[in-house]
Each structure stands twice: as structure tokens, then as C-alpha cells.
Amino acid sequence: MPHHLRRLAVISTHTSPLARPGTTKAGGMNVYVAELAKQLAARERIVDIYTRRDSPDLPDVVEIAPGAQVVHVDVGPPTPLPPIEVAAHIDAFTARADQIAHERGWSYELLHSHYWVSGLSGISLAQRWSCPHAATFHTLGEIKNRHYRGAGHPEPALRIAGEDHVASCADLLIPWTAHERDFLIDFYKADPARIRIVPGGVDLERFQPGDRRAARETVRRTMPDLVVDDAPAILFVGRLEPLKGVDLLVEALAQLDPPAGRPPPRLWIVGGDARDEPERARLRAIAAAAGVADRVSMQHAAPHQLLPDLHRAANVCAMPSAYESFGLVAVEAMACGAPVVASRVGGLMTTITDGDNGYLAPERTAAAFAQRLGWVLNSPDGGAAMGRRAAASARRYAWPVAAERMLELYESLIAEPERDPSPCAEAAETLLASAGL
Ligand code: UDP
């Protein structure tokens, strides 16, 4: 008989589920952590999400749903820090989280860490709390290095070593896709018997197909920086990172032939905040050079609940990323009946079937994207049929389904005999010390 989970500790050191998704480091992982916590709390489990305090005025504990709360851990400066800097505070984080649990009298049957930095803390906390440790990486440094060749900074060696360590010490690894599972086995030498997949989800009650005209009215009101008129619209939603490939999309816009008898398409770019002005300026310059500046409009990251109208208002959603471990935005767009034109990478290969419920560009070039965006925009009937198939296939990614699966995994993990944790504690200290942390 599987054992019952009563209280779960979630470790999400460097990003908080309270952060607005679509800005700097807050994205799919934040949505995943928050949604699953709410789903588990609705199933009468208590969920404490430990995260580093990144702003001085946050209360110690913030409830996100009855039974699910964010617990702020005071280590390092109370400002946002990149993950590698959070790694330098990881021992202090572990000690403080343990102290909080002790002071409040909280005890756990299981802990789930998110991202490799949290995984390092998870290894030590699981030993202190004598509970099993499940780990999800969300992205893997070595995959990034391979996909981002020439496009970004190589991931630090400490990250790869940290991931290696978490992959061998966690009791269960929970990737989002088969692609990530295979990579964990092939590169990180993870034990296949200790890996189970739980894909991301979408709130199917909110993200639904609907009337485009009405949605455009709403978007005009809620996102005043976007130019919303009768022209067809291509939508990008996400963090404004160069690796999301928005520049490629701007160039694709310039290569698109206007649909017969209709105004030339617009590009709506939604994401980022004031900190992303340099990236916005770069995109504006590319648009100006390509002669499409008047057809590109940008809006800061929108609250998650406003996104369904945005997807309904657009004609097609584009995801030209260099890599996506899953790509929640694609599934959210699909759930709203929007065809997605995406790169043939990572999780997008799982959620999109080329030519059926969307398109996977065979190469990451403006020409390949322009061609496929043109196919959707120039054949409104074909685009609508593809959107209907997209909405149907998104139905398999509901948060309650993901949560039930997660709960099942948690409870069978609790029922397993304990593994000997001793080789893992020392290795974490050695790892951090050798990196001078
Ligand atoms: N998001 C949002 N508002 C925005 C932009 C993005 O709520 O303005 C959300 C989006 O709906 C999705 C998440 O941020 O749930 C991004 O996840 P994804 O997996 O697409 O990309 P990641 O940021 O993890 O690379």
C-alpha cells in the first residue's frame, strides 16, 4: 500500500512562485511550482515552498492557496540574484530552511527540489529531515551548451557538476519530457529506474478557444502598448531572452508576403519588464533595419490570467526558441485554439505534430518561419482547422492530471525503503569548495 503524503517541502531557491512569469528568470518553472502546489493543496496536502527572500518587504510566509504557502528564507542580499550566485549561499539556505521547519514544528514525508541549485540544498535537507528527495531540473546546463553554441554564454562547469551530483543523489528524477529523460540517462548517467516523467500543464478552464473579435477588444483595453486593429497578428509571449529567438521572428515578419486583400501582418511581443529595455532596443533596431518597425509592438509581461484573450486575439503564436525543455506557452496557445509555429527542439517536439496541430520549422531561420507563418495566415480556413486540432491535443495537458500523477509518484517514493545517503553529503561540500563557494 502506498504511504500517504501529508506535508511536502518544495525547494525553489532562486525563483519564487510569487514572481511574475515572463520576466527575467521567472517563467515555466514558476508556473509549474505554483500550479502543482495549488493542485496538491486542493487534495488536502500541505505544501511549503521554500525560496530565497529577494525583496526586503516580503512577509515571512505568504499563502498562495489554502494549504499552500511560500516560505521566505533570509540568506544573501534581499534582491534578485542569478542562480550561480544563489549557489554560493546554498549551505546557509539549507541551514536556515531547516531552522524554520524546526521552529514552526513542520515535518515532511518528502521534498521536491526544482533546478540544480535547489537540488544541492535538497540533498542535505532530505538527510536532515530523513525523507526522500525528488528533483526536477527544468533545464539542463549541458543541453543549453549544445543548443546555444555561439548564441549565449556557456553554462558554468559548476552547474554541470551540480546537476551530475543531484542526478546521482536524488531518490527520483522527474523531467517534463522523454527528451530530457533520455538526456539524463545518456549524459548525466542517471539510473533509468529512478526517472519518471510528469509533463507541464495548462489551466484548461481559463485557456479555451473563443471569439477573436471580442478578444481583440479586451486586449486593446488591457494591453495598450500593442497595436490591435484588423491586421492579422503573430504573437510571441515569453521572457525577453535572446535565446527565445524573437529577433528571428522580427526578420521573418519582413519576409512574409501580405495575405491577398488583407493588411500586412503585425507582430505582438509580450514579455519582460523595465529591466529588458536593452533587449527591446535591440529588437527595435532589427525591426527598423528590416523596414517593419511600424508593424512590431511590444508590451511588458502580462498577468497570466490575461493571456487567454491574447492567444484568442492573435492568428498564430510563434516560438522560435533555440531550446525549450517543455514550452508551456505553446500548450497554452494551443489550448486557446491558436496554431503554433515553433522550432524543432526539446519539448516542442512532444507537444506539436508538424503539419497537424502546428508547424515545427525544420531549421531556425527567418525564411523557414516566414514560410510556415505564411501558410497559417494565408489560409485562414486551414489555420482554423489546425487551431481546432491544437485545442483538442492540448486537453491532455491539464494541471489536475499532472498533479494526480505527481501524487502517485510521491506516495510510492515514500513507501520505498530508504537509500544510504552518506556518500552524497560529502560530495556536495567538496563540489562547492572546489568551485571556491
Ligand atoms: N507568461 C506569463 N506572462 C507573460 C509571459 C509569460 O504569464 O507575459 C508565462 C506563460 O504563460 C508560461 C510561462 O510564463 O506559463 C513561460 O513558460 P515557458 O515554458 O513557455 O518558458 P520559460 O520561461 O520557462 O522558458
Instruction: Encode the chain (437 residues) as per-residue pLDDT tens digits.
Output: 457 999 999 999 988 888 888 777 788 899 999 999 999 999 999 999 999 999 999 999 999 999 999 999 999 999 989 888 999 999 999 999 999 999 999 999 999 999 999 999 999 999 999 999 999 999 899 888 887 666 556 788 899 999 999 999 999 999 999 999 999 999 999 999 999 999 999 999 999 999 999 999 999 999 999 999 999 999 999 999 888 999 999 999 999 987 778 899 999 999 999 999 999 999 999 999 999 999 999 999 999 999 999 999 999 999 999 989 899 999 999 999 999 999 999 999 999 999 999 999 999 999 999 999 999 998 878 789 999 999 999 999 999 999 999 999 999 999 988 777 667 866 666 777 766 66
- Substitution site in 29, 147, 323, 329 for ligand 1 pocket (most atoms within 8 Å of beta carbon): 329
Give the integer Cα–Cα distance in Å for 279 and 407.
40
CA distance 394 to 414: 31
Residue boundaries of the structural domains of the chain:
7-201+398-434, 212-396
Ligand 1, CB cutoff 6 Å, lining residues: 21-22, 27-29, 31, 237-239, 270-271, 301-302, 304, 307, 326-329, 332
Cell of 237: 509571449
What is the residue with the minimal CA distance to atom 23 of ligand 1?
Answer: 27
Comparing CA positions, the residue from 326, 341, 343 lying closest to residue 386 is 341
- Residue owning the nearest CA to atom 21 of ligand 1: 28
Distance separating alpha carbons of residues 256 and 298, to the nearest angstrom: 19
How far apart are the CA of 362 and the centre of ligand 1, in A?
A: 24
| Identical topology for domains 7-201+398-434 and 212-396 | yes
What one-character DSSP code corresponds to residue 132? -
Q: Report the topology of domain 212-396.
A: Rossmann fold (3.40.50)
CA of 309 to the centre of ligand 1 (A): 15
DSSP β-bridge partners for residue 26: 23
Distance CA 208, CA 307 (A): 11
What is the rounded CA–CA span in Å between residue 219 and residue 229? Answer: 11
Q: Which atom of ligand 1 is nearest to the CA of 347?
A: 19
Class of domain 7-201+398-434: alpha beta
CA 22 to ligand 1 center in whole angstroms: 5
193 contact partners, CB below 8 Å, separation of at least 6: none
